[in-house]
Amino acid sequence: MIKVAPSILSADYVNLQQNIEKVDKAGAEYLHIDVMDGSFVPSISYGPGFVKAIRPITKMVLDCHLMVQNPEHILPAFIDAGADIIGVQVEATQHIHRALQIIKNGGVKAEVVINPGTPVAMIEPVLHMVDQVLVMTVNPGFGGQKFLPETVEKIAQLNQIKKNKGYDFDIEVDGGVNNQTVVDCYKAGATVAVAGSYVYNVADPAKRIQALRDATK
């Protein structure tokens, strides 16, 4: 069964606490927090203050996906805010190794993220040091986009490297994930599924979380 990471990006922010509690009670393992800077991606969402505000109200793993140019500067603020996992896009920094070192030295789990147009080879030199790899299954920037099936091959490649080298990082997928698209991801080796609109654009998120689990039994 895949671990489920509802993306708060698609929730109604007026009732934020209630919307976090809904997925927490439904047993979602992670809460996915999409940080967008208006530069690496066109949208602007929220920053470390948002993570700090959420931290006291849930024990869920706070899975912070930084879609931020030159993330090195802002990493300490996310570490201090109480993030459990921090993901940096390999395309957003000239110093991916250093960025991951900063996260790990802060006692937080480190994740590297690759866009649909980025090959697995780009992150091979840092795979020994990450706790999680995020394979984007849409181009980042917005919720509610269509899943790109050509990204599934990269999940399989990563899973193969994991086996060959004895690594134990999680493989997360993000974008256009629903109870159908999650199946091929899971078969290819994905262990964590982010889902935004699929979980939050309905009255009962718990049912959608369960549907993702049922699809990956």
Annotated binding site for substrate: 7, 65, 141-144, 174-176, 196-197
Location of structure tokens 């109870």: 179
Residues 19-78 that bind ligand DX5 (CB under 6 A): 32, 34, 65
Give the residue closest to ligand DX5 by C-beta: 196
Task: State which of residues 26, 78, 174, 176 lies at the interface with Zn ion (CB under 5 A).
Answer: 174
Residue number, 182 or 188, with CB nearest to ligand DX5: 182
Beta-strand relationship, 170-174 and 132-136: parallel
174, 194 contact by CB (below 8 A): yes
Shortest CB 5 distance to ligand DX5, Å: 8
CA distance 131 to 216: 22
E strands, 68-147, are 85-89, 109-114, 132-136
- Say if residues 53 and 33 touch (Cβ distance below 8 Å): no
Of the candidates 11, 24, 16, 82, which has an alpha carbon nearest to the alpha carbon of residue 48?
82
Which of 12, 170, 174, 204 is catalytic? The answer is 174
Q: Which of residues 147-166 bind Zn ion (CB under 5 A)?
A: none
Q: Which member of 47, 48, 87, 140 binds ligand DX5 (CB under 6 A)? A: 140
Rule CB under 5 A: is residue 34 a binding residue for Zn ion? yes
Could you confirm whether 34 is annotated as catalytic? yes
Annotation marks residue 174 as catalytic = yes
Active-site positions? 34, 174
